[in-house]
Amino acid sequence: MNENATARAVPPSPGKAARTRHPRSRLMPGLPLTLGYTLLYLSAFVLVPLGAMVVQSAQLSAAEFWHTISDPVVLASLKLTFGASAAAAVINAVFGLIIAWVLVREPFPGRRLFDALIDFPFALPTAVAGLTFSQLYLTDGWIGGLGHHLASLINLLAGLAGHGPLLAENALAWLDFPFTNTNAGIVIVLVFVGLPFVVRTVQPVLRDWDTEYEYAAMNLGAGGWTIFRRIILPEILPAWLTGSALAFARAIGEYGSVIFIAANIPGKSQIAPLQIVVKLDDFRYSQATAIGAVLLLFSFLILLAINGVEWWARHHEPGWR
């Protein structure tokens, strides 16, 4: 009897009572409907077009597919696309981190204006960007023409001094603006297009970072480079790598701005997206989709690497500090 009285006197735990008395409710009403809409949207605008491209490229046999992507002109365009994209991503990784650091940590007049200009490549049409860069930096452009004229002046002075051929060649190589080399021009345009991805992914992490860790390390005698390498870098590394990878993926598919800079010489200065357009103009749809499938594969691997870095960062965060 005492045991029954004790059982009646002890109330059930709040959590258990809540689970038994109230049915489980969803946080957002209409979630099944929104989930279905999301899946339908992704299928209609992402999965189905990508699947159609893969199916179209699958119409080629393995030998035909390999012959298409191993063609010297196509192979040169793929090398130029991936090489220029990688170079632009490395440049953006370095200078994008510096710009994000300055915009977050260093107050200066006009910082809000400069911060807003970071998003300018997102808003500016790619064709307008390519046209602007070509007008500025090509040999007959404002800045490119200045470098070309400076190189010509040094050539003239070298010829008068009797040091003609060798010094003239060096002057053309070092003082003529890099946009006379269209491949260098492609890299610079891709840097312009991909810079916001690095800055905008690193900025929120730096803004939310507690600087007390830095001051604590400074009080313990750590130098500036040690603080950055051992404390700050592990915190921003996932975002930094993500932004750099997104800039690389964006550069792979860039077309509108590059065609205004590149000389578009087959096998030398033709990018892979332009090769796709050339194949489509010749009604070789399967070959065009084969080149597109290669770009799609690399973009998928980049996104997979980004998700892998984010997963690793979430599961190894305590060991980074």
Rounded Cα–Cα distance for residues 129 and 50 (Å): 28
Q: Helix or strand or coil: residue 211?
A: coil
pTM for this entry: 0.73
Reading the block at residue 69, the tokens are 């992507």
Rounded Cα–Cα distance for residues 86 and 254 (Å): 13
Identity (one letter) of the amino acid at 284? R
Query: What DSSP character marks residue 138?
Result: S
Task: Give residue 158's pLDDT.
Answer: 59
Over the chain (321 residues), the average pLDDT of each successive run of 10 is 48 47 52 78 79 78 86 90 92 94 88 89 84 72 57 60 51 45 79 93 89 82 82 86 90 86 80 89 87 87 81 63 45
Please determine, looking at this structure, whether the domain spanning 67-139+177-320 carries the CATH number 1.10.3720.10: yes
Residue that has been written with the tokens 């209409």 in this structure: 30
Count of positions (residues) in the chain: 321
Query: Degrees (nearest 5) of the Cα angle 211, 213, 217?
Result: 120
Reading the block at residue 177, the tokens are 């603006």
Task: Give residue 140's pLDDT.
Answer: 61
CB 187 within 8 A of CB 195: no
Task: Give residue 168's pLDDT.
Answer: 47
- Sequence-separated (6 or more) residues with CB below 8 Å from residue 231: 213, 214, 217, 222, 321
Domain boundaries, the chain: 67-139+177-320
Query: What DSSP character marks residue 47?
Result: I
